[in-house]
Amino acid sequence: MNAPIRLLVWNEYLHEVEEPAIEADYPDGIHGAIADGLRELLPEASVRTATLGEPEHGLTEAALADTDVLFWWGHRAHEDVSDAIVDRVCEQVLAGMGLVVLHSGHFSRVFTRLMGTTCSLRWRNEGERELVWTVAPAHPIAVGVPNPLVLDAHETYGEFFDIPAPDELVFISGFEGGEVFRSGVTFQRGRGRVFYFSPGDQKYPIYHRPDIRRVLANAAEWARPTGPRNLPVVTNPRRGSHA
Amino acid sequence: MNAPIRLLVWNEYLHEVEEPAIEADYPDGIHGAIADGLRELLPEASVRTATLGEPEHGLTEAALADTDVLFWWGHRAHEDVSDAIVDRVCEQVLAGMGLVVLHSGHFSRVFTRLMGTTCSLRWRNEGERELVWTVAPAHPIAVGVPNPLVLDAHETYGEFFDIPAPDELVFISGFEGGEVFRSGVTFQRGRGRVFYFSPGDQKYPIYHRPDIRRVLANAAEWARPTGPRNLPVVTNPRRGSHA
Amino acid sequence: MNAPIRLLVWNEYLHEVEEPAIEADYPDGIHGAIADGLRELLPEASVRTATLGEPEHGLTEAALADTDVLFWWGHRAHEDVSDAIVDRVCEQVLAGMGLVVLHSGHFSRVFTRLMGTTCSLRWRNEGERELVWTVAPAHPIAVGVPNPLVLDAHETYGEFFDIPAPDELVFISGFEGGEVFRSGVTFQRGRGRVFYFSPGDQKYPIYHRPDIRRVLANAAEWARPTGPRNLPVVTNPRRGSHA
Amino acid sequence: MNAPIRLLVWNEYLHEVEEPAIEADYPDGIHGAIADGLRELLPEASVRTATLGEPEHGLTEAALADTDVLFWWGHRAHEDVSDAIVDRVCEQVLAGMGLVVLHSGHFSRVFTRLMGTTCSLRWRNEGERELVWTVAPAHPIAVGVPNPLVLDAHETYGEFFDIPAPDELVFISGFEGGEVFRSGVTFQRGRGRVFYFSPGDQKYPIYHRPDIRRVLANAAEWARPTGPRNLPVVTNPRRGSHA
């Protein structure tokens, strides 16, 4: 567990290129800001980035083999991620790679496939206040995170969020309009740990904030693999082979 | 499962006697209003009530033996419930009796003993709006309940609510001040089913409302025992006694 | 909840046609024996069957619309179930239809898609004893089931079973060779309830047994929908539309 | 997280004193063997021991304040642990201290109080084989543990084990006589992490084994507090105090 953690931040990288206001907030892309935060709080980590437009979306076999935890930000282009790459990422998660899915990534094909549900939700985007409350104060992902974490303006997500019952419920957000949302949830899938964290809409540049960066750094540490990467497979051992 | 369900509604019955405003809202006591709602929605049910001031607090061995699901409302007098009765109620729950704990009953000795935690929480009472959101829409307790269920004025409860991770999270409330609260949660303890539902402060007479009554009637049906009442006990069967 | 439950038993129906020994055990097919058991224990139920070889595998839109709970038995022909039918069945489950997956159906495309994992496991088939132990004695699926339920000879399944952590663990099997297996597990997916039950290999005609039939009838009742069939969808309601 | 972990191993220390065969297996007591194993695998840890016969059973305020994770072995003398010490230990767990409960400690007053259930189970002691299977292969407590871990002779524990549904099920044991048992289970209670591990009967000196020591060392690391020790308490903050 003492080797430096290897992190890969993936972003579709479209809003920042096409919308000047978002480019102004994120001149190095959303992935760039997330990566900066991870480098800041985890100085020993290896932090790389990848985007949709690169060959194989930057998610080559070699890149994933070299990744302990993959961060995923996507919104408009979920359908542009190729089948082969969705297969590859999901297989790596089941084999043990950690995965942190951010904001509108709830509708990414990687996340919906790992969940098996629609992952649909209620939303509005009127820039209202979001309070992120910790409901599992001793969870490693919540350590050092203010309670509540206050976002003065953000997109509103609300229940019903169609996910399987999470293994652990870490954060619940309350919104100015009265909505609530399970905004920080964990899932084990195969040998891999998955954390979904809802804050992070492209219009509100929260990935520069220390408190949000603390959540992401904690999630990176929490999701890292505990052992070698192996996809669970069917076996047919003879009687007594275990004894 | 077809025998009429037998329900017992317990209330400490102090606020209604001592505070005229509350007596005006609940002339038959909080227990009376809850019982009326259960009779209305479950016309075949047997519904009785019991209060702190009765001998053995109305919770005799015979009374509990005749009860499928016990409802519990208490606030000021948790410490006045005798040890023997706390023991008796907990034992019956572990043996299979259903239990529905309401509002400030989170601090009842019955509930804290079954949980094993402090059951502490954050609170304010300024009559603000509470929205009760369903996060498990197919759960039997949520059937027919509006989403959200809107309480224009209620006491505010907030996280961190110090309970074990519930088996099922059915409702999350969002409050006008931004607080959130896991307001409908289920737990299996021994052979008994436990449901905690936070709405129901004495100052806001919500137990007359059809939507709240729907939650309580659903909870009664959900919590009823599935089999004979038996406390789990240690056993020492010989080898092969099962084969 | 009082309308007669509508059950559909699906079977690939290949072993019984191709292997005389299995045909002798199941002259009406595995689906026929399961359906007989359901009719016996749930006399008011409507019980139909469908098989792989029928048009649309017998799983037409109309057939599923008329089904509260679908039972699924498959082994050799998982890949022969068409994409369209897998999509259709999964969508109906997420919308509220109950699903009971049996034995080697752990590798069906319907089940693996709803789980999001490989669903791989350890196995041997040497006809050894299986004891099915109840670890949730008050669960509706366990009511009336002997503890343990003894199968003198059955295929051995063993851990690690690569499924998400189940919502409820009802049965654990112990095998003569020392293997253990989470043999009765529940999952909520969308609005639908899913129960996986591992006993039922084609070589051991256990679907004629009263105790196994009890499990299946209980599962049918447990998995039936609690409300109207609706696929969760994303919504964008305006502020205050709930208040 | 980098300060050396502080471990305290508590044992009633009666069998080893009164029964020569057990003294021969554990000349330094069961606590001595457990402590040796922890020192061996966690060389930077501070490992102390305490026993029932010491003043305050060795569990003074100061001793607990200096403990990150408490190990608990007890069997015959659960009732001899004073109320005050049970209160103190439980309060420290709820405030964040880790707790690892071993074998017959399932009936300790500390464990039953934190669980809220009877913690009863089925047992036989005929020295048969126990196989401890990992059902959560990526869980930190399972890392480096053989699957299965084979105990050629041990006491048999069986279901139904009357505990609340665990947060995580790590190990299931299968026994020669066909019994199964949830032998490694985790619970969060308040801010504290609890792990129960069933192997470790006094008649079978397994605490000298490297594989069992690996489980205990992993559990120590897993259960250590993530933040400062604070008992959850009720709070009454004013509106907007969080914003």
Percent of chain B with pLDDT over 70: 99
Cβ neighbourhood burial of C227 (10 Å; 0-12, 13-18, 19+):
middle
C226 with B143: Cβ contact below 8 A: yes
pLDDT confidence of residue C239: 87
Q: Is A227 on the interface with D (CB under 8 A)?
A: yes
State yes or no: pLDDT of C1 exceeds 70: no
Instruction: Quote the minimal CA–CA distance from C150 to chain B in Å.
Output: 6
C136 with B243: Cβ contact below 8 A: no
In this structure, the strands spanning A149-158 and A122-134 are: antiparallel
Instruction: Quote the minimal CA–CA distance from C137 to chain B in Å.
Output: 7
Number of folded domains in chain C? 1
Phi, psi of A135 (to 5 degrees): -110, 5
CA Rg value for chain B:
18
Interatomic CA distance for residues A205 and A188, integer angstroms: 29
Average pLDDT over residues B205-233: 97
Mean of the per-residue pLDDT values for chain D?
Answer: 97
Sign of CA dihedral A88, A92, A95, A100: negative
Determine the residue type at B121.
L
The answer to whether residue A83 is domain-embedded is yes
Q: Is A116 on the interface with C (CB under 8 A)?
A: yes
Question: Which chain D residue's Cα is nearest to B107?
Answer: D234
pLDDT tens, residue by residue, A111-140: 999 999 999 999 999 999 999 999 999 999
D134 with C160: Cβ contact below 8 A: yes
Task: Write the CB contacts of A166 (distance below 8 Å, at least 6 apart in sequence).
Answer: A182, A185, A186, A187
In this structure, the strands spanning D192-197 and D98-102 are: parallel
Q: Is C94 on the interface with A (CB under 8 A)?
A: yes
The answer to whether residue B146 is domain-embedded is no
D94 with B113: Cβ contact below 8 A: no
Mean of the per-residue pLDDT values for chain C?
Answer: 97
Average pLDDT over residues A45-74: 98
Average pLDDT over residues C35-51: 98
B116 with D121: Cβ contact below 8 A: no
Mean of the per-residue pLDDT values for chain B?
Answer: 97
Angstrom CA distances, C140 to B101, B193, C46, C143, C219, stand at 22, 12, 21, 5, 8
Interatomic CA distance for residues B92 and B63, integer angstroms: 11
Q: In what order do the strands lie in the sheet containing C69-73?
A: C46-51, C6-11, C69-73, C98-102, C192-197, C180-189, C168-175, C122-134, C149-158
Mean of the per-residue pLDDT values for chain A?
Answer: 97
Interatomic CA distance for residues A109 and B163, integer angstroms: 35
State yes or no: pLDDT of B1 exceeds 90: no
The answer to whether residue A84 is domain-embedded is yes
Sign of CA dihedral D132, D136, D137, D143: negative
Cis status, amide bond into A225, omega within 30 of 0: no
State the SS3 of D53-110: CCHHHHCCHHHHHCCCEEEEECCCCHHHCCHHHHHHHHHHHHHCCEEEEEHHHHHCHH
- What is the SS3 assignment for B82? coil
Summary count for chain B: helices (H), strands (E): 7, 9
Nearest Cα neighbor of B103 from B61, B49, B151 is B151
State yes or no: pLDDT of C243 exceeds 80: no
Nearest Cα neighbor of C14 from C63, C57, C61, C62 is C57
User: How many B-C residue pairs are in contact by the CB < 8 A criterion?
Assistant: 50
Sign of CA dihedral C111, C116, C120, C121: negative
pLDDT-derived band at A217 (thresholds 50, 70, 90) equals very high
Q: Check: CB of residue D199 under 8 Å from CB of residue D171.
A: no
The answer to whether residue B20 is domain-embedded is yes
Interatomic CA distance for residues A66 and D156, integer angstroms: 44
CATH number reported for the structural domain that contains residue D206 in this entry: 3.40.50.880
User: How many A-B residue pairs are in contact by the CB < 8 A criterion?
Assistant: 64
Q: In what order do the strands lie in the sheet containing A46-51?
A: A46-51, A6-11, A69-73, A98-102, A192-197, A180-189, A168-175, A122-134, A149-158
Angle at B119 between CA B115 and CA B125, to 5 degrees: 145
State yes or no: pLDDT of A197 exceeds 80: yes
- The enclosing H or E element of A134 equals strand A122-134
Tell me the chain D residues in contact with residue C158 when contact means C-beta distances shorter than 8 Å.
133
Residue A228: how many other CB atoms lie within 10 Å:
8
pLDDT-derived band at A243 (thresholds 50, 70, 90) equals low
D173 with C180: Cβ contact below 8 A: yes
The answer to whether residue C25 is domain-embedded is yes
Nearest CB to C96: which of B131, B138, B140?
Answer: B138
Q: What pTM does this model have?
A: 0.98
Summary count for chain D: helices (H), strands (E): 7, 9
- What is the SS3 assignment for C208? helix
A135 with B173: Cβ contact below 8 A: no
Q: Check: CB of residue C42 under 8 Å from CB of residue C5.
A: yes
Interatomic CA distance for residues B214 and B52, integer angstroms: 26
Residue segments in chain D with a per-residue pLDDT below the cut of 50: none
Q: Check: CB of residue A156 under 8 Å from CB of residue A128.
A: yes
Question: Which chain D residue's Cα is nearest to B192?
Answer: D117
Instruction: Quote the minimal CA–CA distance from C154 to chain B in Å.
Output: 14
Q: Check: CB of residue C78 under 8 Å from CB of residue C108.
A: yes
Q: Is B243 on the interface with C (CB under 8 A)?
A: yes
Interatomic CA distance for residues C17 and B145, integer angstroms: 49
pLDDT tens, residue by residue, C99-152: 999 999 999 999 999 999 999 999 999 999 999 999 999 999 999 999 999 999
pLDDT tens, residue by residue, D17-57: 999 999 999 999 999 999 999 999 999 999 999 999 999 99
Q: Is A159 on the interface with B (CB under 8 A)?
A: yes
Cβ neighbourhood burial of A210 (10 Å; 0-12, 13-18, 19+):
exposed
Interatomic CA distance for residues B164 and B115, integer angstroms: 7
State yes or no: pLDDT of C78 exceeds 60: yes
The answer to whether residue A164 is domain-embedded is no
pLDDT confidence of residue D233: 93
Token pair belonging to A235: 């076996």
Tell me the chain B residues in contact with residue D187 when contact means C-beta distances shorter than 8 Å.
164
C188 with B143: Cβ contact below 8 A: no
CA A96 to chain centre: 15
Tell me the chain D residues in contact with residue B189 when contact means C-beta distances shorter than 8 Å.
116-117, 164
Nearest Cα neighbor of A42 from A2, A3, A97, A5 is A5
Token pair belonging to B219: 């909870």
Tell me the chain A residues in contact with residue B175 when contact means C-beta distances shorter than 8 Å.
174
Q: Check: CB of residue B179 under 8 Å from CB of residue A187.
A: no
Token pair belonging to A155: 């997109």
Residue D65: how many other CB atoms lie within 10 Å:
11
Task: Write the CB contacts of D219 (distance below 8 Å, at least 6 apart in sequence).
Answer: D69, D100, D141, D195, D197
Tell me the chain C residues in contact with residue D178 when contact means C-beta distances shorter than 8 Å.
129, 131, 148, 174, 176
Cis status, amide bond into C171, omega within 30 of 0: no
Q: Check: CB of residue B85 under 8 Å from CB of residue B51.
A: no
Q: Domain of D72?
A: 6-115+183-223
What's the number of CA atoms in the CB half-sphere (13 Å) around residue C58?
A: 18
Angstrom CA distances, D222 to A137, A140, D68, D143, stand at 16, 11, 11, 11
Nearest Cα neighbor of C93 from C62, C72, C69, C75 is C69
> Buried b / exposed e across C62-78, counting CB within 10 Å, b at 16+?
ebbeebbbbbbbbbeeb
Q: List chains touching C (3+ CB pairs under 8 A).
A: A, B, D
ipTM: 0.96
D242 with A139: Cβ contact below 8 A: no
**Longest CA pairwise span in chain C (Å):** 66
Tell me the chain B residues in contact with residue C193 when contact means C-beta distances shorter than 8 Å.
138
Average pLDDT over residues A223-240: 93
**Longest CA pairwise span in chain A (Å):** 66
pLDDT confidence of residue D239: 87
- The enclosing H or E element of C38 equals helix C29-41
Q: Check: CB of residue A194 under 8 Å from CB of residue A223.
A: yes
Tell me the chain D residues in contact with residue B234 when contact means C-beta distances shorter than 8 Å.
120-123
Instruction: Quote the minimal CA–CA distance from D162 to chain A in Å.
Output: 21
Nearest CB to D150: which of A129, A137, A242?
Answer: A242
pLDDT confidence of residue B242: 75
| Contact residues, D window 125-154, toward C, CB-based 8 Å cutoff | 129, 131, 133-137, 147-148
pLDDT confidence of residue C202: 97
The answer to whether residue D242 is domain-embedded is no
pLDDT tens, residue by residue, A154-181: 999 999 999 999 999 999 999 999 999 9
The answer to whether residue B153 is domain-embedded is no
